[in-house]
Amino acid sequence: MVAADTAPKCRIAFAFVPMAGHMNPSFPVARLLASMGHEVHYFTHEVVKKAVESTGAVFHSIADYHSAVSDGRFAADSPIGIFSGLVEEHGLKPTGSNTGHAVLPFSMVSNVALELQLPGTLRFFDEVKPDVLFYDPMILCRDSLFAARLRGVPAVSLLTVAGPGGYADHMTAGVGEEAGRPAAP
């Protein structure tokens, strides 16, 4: 067994939307990896720069890589800027106030969003050259998974949901009626 202080160090990328339930669970992992001497990088939004850097990680703003954000077409300060902008451009209407209600329209524009995100995300991968990716597997970060696969980088998803059945309840509340099923009570 190799001693921890002589073990090879890795370059690790994290890609998460800056939403507490999505991002916060990644911080202890990033903090531990950084404390072990690994090089940790986050690919996310400016609003969480301070929190990211407090883990010992290097912050990379998606606005510096995604031209659809940096050119002002979509909101740089919103974790859903590209998606909500595309929903608006295509005349789609999320219904209700639960975030699950946005899932169906976001799904409808997800391939267009991927087309806009992927070139910048690949540029991030080419610059950072991560050995592994930790990512949020929700639809907003799937560009990172595609980039990892295209660059041959192993990927680990960290999916956080509020307890058993939380995701099903969230999805049913959001898309149940649109999918022809009654919404959850």
Q: Is the pLDDT of residue 173 over 70?
A: no
Whole-number pLDDT of residue 75: 79
Q: By the 8 A CB rule, do 12 and 29 touch?
A: no
In terms of pLDDT, which residue wins out, 78 or 155? 155
In the predicted structure, residue 100 carries a pLDDT above the cut 50: yes
pTM assigned to the model: 0.81
Q: What is the pLDDT of residue 87?
A: 87
- Identify the three-state secondary structure at position 107: helix
Contact 133, 41 (CB under 8 A): no
Q: What is the pLDDT of residue 15?
A: 96
What pLDDT digit, counting tens, does each position of 134-147 carry? 999 888 889 999 99
Q: What is the mean pLDDT of the chain?
A: 82
How does pLDDT run across 55-74, given as a tens digit for each residue?
999 999 998 998 887 788 88
Q: How far apart are CA 6 and CA 41, in angstroms?
A: 21
Long-range pairs of 35-42 with CB within 8 A, sequence gap ≥ 24:
36/4, 37/5, 37/9, 38/9, 38/10, 38/11, 38/12, 39/9, 39/10, 39/11, 39/12, 40/12, 40/14, 41/11, 41/12, 41/13, 41/14, 41/128, 41/130, 42/13, 42/14, 42/15, 42/16
Task: Convert the pLDDT of each residue in 106-127 to its tens digit.
Answer: 888 899 999 999 999 999 999 9
Q: What is the token pair recorded at 163?
A: 């307890």
Where helices occur in the chain by DSSP H, the ranges are 20-23, 26-35, 49-53, 67-70, 81-89, 103-128, 142-151, 166-175
20-63 per-position pLDDT tens digit: 888 888 999 999 999 999 999 999 999 999 999 999 999 999 98
Query: Which stretch of 55-59, 92-96, 169-173 has the lowest confidence by average pLDDT?
Result: 169-173
pLDDT (0 to 100) of residue 103: 75
Best-predicted range by mean pLDDT (3-7, 34-38, 82-86):
34-38
Q: How far is CA 148 from CA 2, 63, 68, 105, in A?
A: 28, 19, 21, 26
Q: With contact defined as beta carbons under 8 Å apart, do 17 and 141 qualify?
A: yes
pLDDT confidence of residue 58: 97
